[in-house]
Amino acid sequence: MRKRTVFGIAAGTAAAGAATLAYASLIERNMFTLRRYDVPVLALDAEPMRILHLSDMHMTPGQRRKQDWVASLAATDPDLVIVTGDNLAHPDAVPGAIRALQPLLDYPGAFVFGSNDYRGPVWKNPFSYFFPDREYRQGVELPAEELREVLAGAGWVDLNNARTTVKAGGRLVELVGVDDPHVERDDYALVAGGASADVDLRLGLTHSPEPFILDAMAADGFDLLLAGHTHGGQVRVPFAGALVTNCDLPRTMARGLFRWPGSDAWLHVSAGIGTHPTAPVRFACPPEASVLTLVPR
């Protein structure tokens, strides 16, 4: 009788594990979710302004469901579209990424890249994410320059270690961004300096939300900082949240809207739309994009 009980427990545990894996890999990773936040960063007499924040598509060929969902976000009628990197995950992914983004290219936009826009994914042990000092490995070269040419050619601002102003929603917006600090492509010193007082809004962009970058942008007076990279943890434990962020950001800030500590700046971290192709699962962390409605302070 005891052997049967132990066998039954083991079989039940295995079945539950298989069911959880099936749910995470087949169902939740395709449960695309639009999140909405109000962010109090505008002047007292300002009309609201909408920013659509996209990140981490990790596009591979044939992902039509993901492409269609991203394309449908044009219906949110944003004043400004912000993309914070890791759009690609395959050498042939640019057509799919552009198909997804095409309807949004009619709106003002800006972008930075992530490490997976430049180099493809490689298989890694998922438990290695618990060891921040692990050796970082990169795969095949990806057509980042092809993607950059299309986005910039459509009028979107390339903010990889750059700074500029744009007109969006009838407002003058100052933008600063860095290339991905996760692979040491950032050069904030090149674009650092106090934000302008003569604009309506100041935005800072980075793929990986490394605190040293966020601290510098906040100290320079940027109102809202936008990042991705974390996938919200990708696998979250109920009541505990994200187990890792794959950067130095605290786990409690793996996704969502926060006041950046020690500053007047706000931070929005997107949990992202895709998954790493070698770990195509999400649990308690559905893929997402966000509409940030900026309102008076």
Q: What is the reported pLDDT for 1?
A: 53
- 206 neighbors 177 (Cβ within 8 angstroms): yes
**pLDDT band for position 136 (cuts 50, 70, 90):** low
Q: What is the reported pLDDT for 13?
A: 40
Domains of the chain: 31-296 (3.60.21.10)
Q: How large a percentage of the chain has pLDDT more than 70?
A: 86
Residue range 154-171, pLDDT digits in tens: 999 999 999 999 999 999
**pLDDT band for position 18 (cuts 50, 70, 90):** very low
The dihedrals phi and psi of 5, each to the nearest 5 degrees, come to -65, -45
Q: What is the reported pLDDT for 135?
A: 63
Q: What is the reported pLDDT for 133?
A: 63
Nearest to 92 by CA among 59, 66, 64: 59
Structure tokens of 21?
A: 């894996």
Nearest to 117 by CA among 93, 100, 95, 137: 93
Rounded Cα gap, residues 112 and 176, in angstroms: 10
